[in-house]
Chain A
Amino acid sequence: MKVVGLRLALLALFLAAWEVAGRTMNPLLGVPPSVVLPALRDLLLLRSYPDLLASLALTVREIVTAYALAVAAGLGCGFMLGMHRLVGRAWGPMLAALYAVPAVVWYPSLMLFFGLDAASKIAFGFLLGFFPIALAVLAGIRQVNPQLVVVARAYGAGTVTVFRRVMLPAMLFTLVGGLRTGLALCVIGVIVGEILGSKAGMGALINHAYGLLRTGDYVALVLVTLTLVVGSDVLASLLERRASRWTE
């Protein structure tokens, strides 16, 4: 109770400090909450950016496509590497080394290849989401007790049954964690891609507002985008909770 009160007090203090600091700053740079709220209202009533909904829909579509591709490729690649010992031992470290490269270095090449439209954002979101999923599958397979698999096989379980009854429950926790991280990174990838260069989508609106120094609109757009980010993570955490209930 006390902790919650203190948290709220801290938030209020932060907003107050922001208000005071924002008012003393150059109005083009400092945007106190009292300026953001009207800007947010205008934005949500589609006054300042009439194409808000279309942009939001485009960004969501890019995220969904990128994530679907990342899940398919990540699971496929992870299981392939995990099931074949030699291939896994050879490619696993290479995959991990590539993961150590800050992914944004690939973005200019993707933009050159896929153009300024949605495809390059999908490709970048896919790239970011793919690695945690593939690496989680690899780590999950390593957690499966091989003796259990041997016993199940000895009792005549087929590949599908071994997978469903033995492997999946053992690795589910790690796998779902990877899927959740992958979604978060897909979202970030698409947004980073849009801000670094795009013609449509939330990132393009943000860049537009920033370029014209419409700072109030910019903060309002950031808040709307943040809602999207938080919403996707809440959805993922609900699914994660469901999956963990299933294992028990």
Chain B
Amino acid sequence: MTVRVLQLVTVIAGLGLWELAARSGWVDPLFVPAPSAVAPALVRIGGGALAGLADTLGKTALAYVLSVVLGVSAGIAVGSVRLLRDVLSPYVIALYGIPKILVLPWIVLLLGYGTTPAVFYGTLHGFFPIMVLVMGAVRDVDRTLVTVARSLGATTWQLYWKVLMPAIVPSVLAGMRLGIVFCLLGVLVVEMFAGVRGMGHVLGSFANGFQAPELFAATALVSAASIAIVLALDHLNDTLSRWRG
């Protein structure tokens, strides 16, 4: 209870201070508009921004499905074969770690402007964290379970489906939770770098046009959307893990 009150007080105090700072001229309203200027801007940009958001979220959804499917399959394939895992894991970790923005210009040269590079780059961002998590989970599956299943005559198919899959569910869910933010990030970066549509492009053009209230409103819109998506996934995660017991 007190926690909620404190959170509310923080938000209100923050907005109040911000409004005060903008009105009294501590910060230049040309660059940092007051909340009272941002709110009407939110209405003003309404339709266009929502269309941009829908475009971005559509690409993100596609990239996300690709990342999850490819990441989980690659994680299982590489994680469950000892030799493959030993040979590939340093490469996978290295690819996960390097800033993918460095290859973005080349991707844009190759795939052009528009939807394809955004989906590709979003997938590239989401794929590695999911694969690394799943790979680790498969490696850490209790060996005893595998041995027992084998000695009781389980086929390879049964081993994967009945032993491996249930054991890695928590990691898959953790990967899915992590992956969505990475996918959205990737899509937004491409839209900012070489976009003709979508929220990244909208943000970039407001910044270039010095339309600070509109820019802040659009930023708030994307942030709210991504927080909502992550909270929804967290909720789903909780429900699923309660169901799993």
Contact = CB atoms under 8 A, between A and B. Distances in A.
A101 interface: yes
Interface residues on A, range: 35 or more
Nearest to A230: B98
11 contacts: A10-B91, A90-B6, A91-B10, A100-B227, A101-B226, A108-B204, A112-B207, A112-B212, A113-B32, A215-B106, A229-B98
Interface in A212-233: 213, 215, 218-219, 222, 225-226, 229-230, 233
Given A104-B185, A113-B31, A195 B227 contact: no
A10 B88 CA distance: 9
Nearest to A105: B222
Contacts of A229: 98-99
A49 B151 CA distance: 64
Contacts of A91: 7, 10
Given A7-B87, A196-B192, A226-B102, 4 more contacts: A104-B185, A108-B215, A112-B215, A184-B97
Contact of B223 (A28, A105, A191): A105
Nearest to A218: B105
B97 A233 contact: yes
B148 interface: no
Nearest to A96: B230
A235 interface: no
B227 A225 contact: no
A175 B92 CA distance: 25
B63 interface: no
Interface string A154-174: 000000000000000000000
B212 A86 contact: no
Interface of A: 3, 6-7, 10, 28-29, 86-87, 89-91, 93-94, 97-98, 100-109, 111-113, 184, 187-188, 191-192, 195-196, 206-207, 210, 213, 215, 218-219, 222, 225-226, 229-230, 233
B161 interface: no
A97 B227 contact: yes
B193 A195 contact: yes
B219 A187 contact: no
A39 B3 CA distance: 59
A112 B184 CA distance: 22
Interface string B188-230: 1100110000011001101100101001100100110011001
A108 B203 contact: yes
A195 B193 CA distance: 8
Contact of A90 (B7, B188, B223): B7
Contact of A191 (B7, B32, B101, B219): B101
B99 A111 contact: no
B227 A90 contact: no
A100 B225 CA distance: 10
Contacts of A101: 181, 222-223, 226-227
A226 B97 CA distance: 11
B104 A195 contact: yes
Contacts of B3: 86, 89-90
B7 A94 contact: yes
A104 B227 contact: no
A87 B109 CA distance: 49
Contacts of A94: 7, 10
Contacts of A188: 99, 101
Contacts of B7: 90-91, 93-94
B155 interface: no
Lowest 10 A-B CB distances belong to which pairs? A108-B207, A102-B185, A210-B105, A90-B6, A100-B230, A188-B99, A108-B203, A101-B223, A3-B86, A6-B87
B2 interface: yes
B192 A108 contact: yes
Contacts of B152: none
A209 B172 CA distance: 40
A100 B99 contact: no
Interface in B20-78: 31-32
A22 B32 CA distance: 47
